[in-house]
Amino acid sequence: MRSARGASLRILYLAMVGCLLLPVLLLGSGAVVIRRAAIRDTDERLARTADVLREQAMKVFQSSDVLLRNLADMTRGLPDEAIRADYALWHARLKAISSRLSEVQSIWIIGPDGRTSATDATPAVPTLDLSDRDYFTAQSPADAGLFIGSVLTSRLGIGDPFFNVSIRRDAPQGRFAGIVTASLLPGDFDKFYRQIGRSPGSFMALVRTDGTVLARSPALPGQNAITIPDIISATAERGLGTLVSHIDGRERRLAWRRLDPYPALVVAGRETAEIRDEWLGALATHLVFGLPATLVMLGALWIALIRTRALFAEEARRATAEEGLQRGRRLEALGELTGGVAHDFNNLLMIILGNVDRMRRRPREAGDIRALDMIDAAVRRGEALTRQLLTFARRRALYPEPIDLVRHLADTRTLLAHTLRGDITLATEVETPDVACVVKADPNELDLAVLNVAVNARDAMPQGGHLTVRLRRVNLPAEHGVEDLAGDFVALSLTDTGTGIAPEVLSRVFDPFFTTKDIGKGTGLGLSQVYGFARQSGGAATIASTPGVGTTVTVYLPCSTAAPALRQPNAAADATPGAGLRVLLVEDNAEVATVTRIRLELLGFEVAMAASGRSALALLDAQPYALMVSDIMMPGG
């Protein structure tokens, strides 16, 4: 009995000691585990952030590298005096290039003496001596590749601070012929950094390998250089470590990536004090509740849940950004491909159609006429297909004019009524019918876009349904707008009550040639034409759908302050409008040129031909012409 009591007492003592030691052991071990997890999670986030920063910076520098090397090739062998003589032409050309690259502020062509030969920054030749700029002096002794300059302010007194990237222009025997350079805005990098660096204590920077700061978030006014630590300098491509900044004295956990072959690197970091605060906060949770095993486990699960949600949210944001980037690249590549194919295909159709017209002018048997009609119909279908391809590729020539969509929608209703079946009801809703919604767009392409959406809606409602066309004015904010839009827009929405689109298919509906219809019932170019028209008109197109409920396609077009155009009736055409008139035909494709010349001569014109822009200019200098018909893109400058 006594031994049993002693054993019971010893068990109680041991249990008491255990009750005292267990919380301490659990708290100590939990502190170590949580600290390691905090550091590991921070390192993973920093590594992913650094990879995103590197991809964004590499895209900017690679695009600038390709742009400047193309400009260097374009100006190779051209004297700077000749470039300055054609300054207006070069100014327009450079402005068209820079307008397509949001990260480029301006483009400059500079001669060997440091004087500006051409730029899109000013409409007149600026009288600036840029020979002391680092992006110029670095290229004059020898080819420095793509040189990245330091942050500067404009001597013209315009624009935000910038830094230049430059490429050397070589003359024969390797002599220095000047540079081509592009100005990039640190503010664009800062904006991108602020969008992804929302965690407390976050730090991101774009730095040259010599320590010059190009962009930094958070910014430090007046600080334009840092000392690159040995641990970063000794790293070949990437690295991770804890460093104390010599600028603000704060200790940070950093991840960096080099931008080889460019002389720069990106850095992503977070203050260790914030990491320590998170760790102490986790421990405080255990101490507040104070219960040993159960509450410690509940606290750990609660912290794990918060971190998991944060990790999933971050991965979702990154996946969305990466998906948008890849989709944009895919659509851009498809646009270039389809544009080139459509251009060549259009030339073939023109040859066929021209020869069909010639054959129709000769006496033919009834069978031959039917065959020509079949060829003509096939060519017209090919022409419509080419028009859709060019619209998607944003290379189709548009003829925009101010349109009041409130009035235009009333005219379009008749077109839609003929397109839809009798079992589909059509309704139009205008948010403010008394206020004009004026946009600047091509009315024919606008009608085609609306018609394409209506046809898809009709096919999605085989048992009948309801199609609603809504018109409203919207203001899109810069940070949360549709795609890259910001400002006042008119939203034209078409909503059907059809079968809807599955989520796995929805992201591809704007891709060219993608269709869910049966073979022979759709080309897959309808919605891609809508997307191409909207983007080429300065807007965007979006789609939202719920399977079994319906689909909404919305076209955003920028508001215009111009007065709506009044259409004039077409004057009757003369049977021989070209009688006695001389025409200059400029076309590098011999077969297309022959067909076009024959058709012009049948209209009564006297035709002179040129196979290039240079030969056309020579003919224009020699004598006057009443009309010139020219291809848009030809080799030879």
Q: What is the average pLDDT value for the chain, to the nearest integer?
A: 77
What's the mean pLDDT in 404-414?
80
pLDDT over threshold 90, residue 136: yes
Instruction: Give the burial class of 269: count Cβ atoms within 10 A of its Cβ; 0-12 exposed, 13-18 middle, 19 or more buried.
Output: buried
pLDDT score at 552: 94
* Three-state secondary structure call for residue 552: strand
- For residue 545, give Cα distances in angstroms to 219, 451, 495, 506: 42, 19, 9, 8
Q: Are 396 and 387 in contact (CB under 8 A)?
A: yes
CA 599 to chain centre: 41
- For residue 354, give Cα distances in angstroms to 39, 72, 378, 598: 73, 41, 14, 8
pLDDT score at 388: 56
Most confident of 243-252, 525-534, 579-588: 579-588
DSSP strand pairing (264-271 vs 251-258): antiparallel
What's the mean pLDDT in 126-150?
90
pLDDT over threshold 70, residue 7: no
pLDDT bracket for residue 227 (50, 70, 90): low
pLDDT score at 178: 92
- For residue 180, give Cα distances in angstroms to 69, 82, 167: 8, 16, 5
CB-based contacts of 614: which residues, under 8 Å, 6+ apart? 636, 637
What angle, rounded to 10 degrees, do the helices at 293-360 and 590-602 form?
50
Q: What percent of the chain has pLDDT over 70?
A: 66
- For residue 186, give Cα distances in angstroms to 59, 121, 156, 210: 15, 17, 18, 17
pLDDT score at 296: 46
pLDDT digits (tens, 9 = 90+) for 323-340: 655 655 555 555 555 555
pLDDT score at 104: 87
pLDDT bracket for residue 246 (50, 70, 90): low
pLDDT bracket for residue 164 (50, 70, 90): very high
For residues 71 and 109, give the distance between their C-alpha atoms in angstroms, rounded to a whole number. 8
* Torsional sign, CA 478, 484, 488, 492: negative
Residue showing tokens 């990039």: 184
Q: Using H for helix, E for strand and C for coil, what is the string for 417-482?
A: HHHCCCCEEEEEEECCCCCCCEEEECHHHHHHHHHHHHHHHHHCCCCCEEEEEEEEEEEECCCCCC
pLDDT bracket for residue 2 (50, 70, 90): very low
Helix (H) or strand (E) holding 195: helix 186-196
Q: The tokens of 480 are what?
A: 């949360």
For residues 587 and 585, give the distance between their C-alpha atoms in angstroms, rounded to a whole number. 6
pLDDT score at 467: 92
* Three-state secondary structure call for residue 245: coil
* Three-state secondary structure call for residue 27: helix
CB-based contacts of 284: which residues, under 8 Å, 6+ apart? none
What's the mean pLDDT in 383-396?
55
CA angle at residue 383 from 454 to 516, to 5 degrees?
40
DSSP strand pairing (606-610 vs 582-586): parallel
pLDDT score at 222: 55
pLDDT bracket for residue 21 (50, 70, 90): low
pLDDT score at 631: 78
Helix (H) or strand (E) holding 70: helix 2-74
CA 296 to chain centre: 49
Q: Are 138 and 122 in contact (CB under 8 A)?
A: no
For residues 498 and 460, give the distance between their C-alpha atoms in angstroms, rounded to a whole number. 5
pLDDT over threshold 60, residue 54: yes
What's the mean pLDDT in 176-198?
88
More confident residue, 267 or 344: 267
Q: What's the first-to-final CA gap in the chain, in angstroms?
A: 111
User: Torsion-angle region of residue 290: left (phi > 0), alpha (psi -120 to 50) or beta?
Assistant: left
pLDDT score at 590: 73
* Three-state secondary structure call for residue 378: helix
pLDDT over threshold 90, residue 365: no
- For residue 482, give Cα distances in angstroms to 474, 476, 486, 555: 11, 7, 8, 10
Instruction: Give the burial class of 474: count Cβ atoms within 10 A of its Cβ; 0-12 exposed, 13-18 middle, 19 or more buried.
Output: middle
Most confident of 144-153, 449-458, 588-597: 144-153
pLDDT digits (tens, 9 = 90+) for 538-579: 888 889 999 989 999 999 999 988 878 665 544 444 556 667
DSSP strand pairing (424-430 vs 465-476): parallel
More confident residue, 46 or 325: 46
User: Torsion-angle region of residue 222: left (phi > 0), alpha (psi -120 to 50) or beta?
Assistant: left
- For residue 15, give Cα distances in angstroms to 9, 97, 562: 9, 79, 87
pLDDT over threshold 60, residue 93: yes
pLDDT digits (tens, 9 = 90+) for 69-84: 999 998 888 888 989 9
- For residue 312, give Cα distances in angstroms to 303, 304, 325: 14, 12, 20
Q: Are 203 and 211 in contact (CB under 8 A)?
A: no
What's the mean pLDDT in 419-442?
84
pTM for this entry: 0.43
What's the mean pLDDT in 191-197?
84
For residues 578 and 555, give the distance between their C-alpha atoms in angstroms, rounded to a whole number. 42
Q: The tokens of 115 are what?
A: 């004087």
pLDDT score at 571: 47
Lowest mean pLDDT among 232-236, 477-481, 608-612: 232-236
What's the mean pLDDT in 466-479?
86
Residue showing tokens 């159609």: 353
pLDDT score at 301: 46
Among the listed residues 563, 557, 561, the one whose alpha carbon sits nearest the alpha carbon of residue 472: 557
Cis peptide before 577 (omega within 30 of 0): no
